[in-house]
Amino acid sequence: MKSRVLILCTGNSCRSQMAEGLLRFMAADRIEAYSAGTDPHGIHPDAVVAMDEMGIDIRGHESEHVDTYLGFGIDTVITVCERASSNCPTFPERVGRVHWSFDDPASAQGGDEERRAVFRRVRDEIAASLRSWLDKGCPA
């Protein structure tokens, strides 16, 4: 049986969406990856571009509220921003908790290329964290 992992951030528009796509790509054989937000805003177009560059299509993802996954049988919640970590609801089932804090690429300033560079950097930081976590055998 696959582990169910929920990646949580505030807007469910960038970091958690990229992490969901990356985790599905890296560990689809053993993990069902989902993402949600405490205040979902829809998927940011630059997140789609950043993931396309890796050959991962997140266009079909939904921007959902975390309450969607209460009682869903989540095994692990990964929070990817401070606000989501402090506002994460208590899940009725026993879940593992992991917290990593990444810059919010949606707040990047500048032209298209400057903003996309921030999205790429954050995407790569998330990928490195997920790789390390998976290499340690997580989720157990």
Catalytic residue list: 9, 81, 88
Coil, strand or helix at 84: helix
Q: Is the peptide bond before 89 cis (omega within 30 degrees of 0)?
A: no
- Of the chain, the end-to-end C-alpha distance in Å amounts to 12
Alpha helices in 1-140 (DSSP H): 15-27, 45-52, 82-87, 112-135
Q: d(Cα 95, Cα 5) in Å, to the nearest integer?
A: 9
CB 43 within 8 A of CB 13: yes
Using the Cα atoms of residue 128, residue 132, residue 137 and residue 140 in order, give the sign of their dihedral.
negative
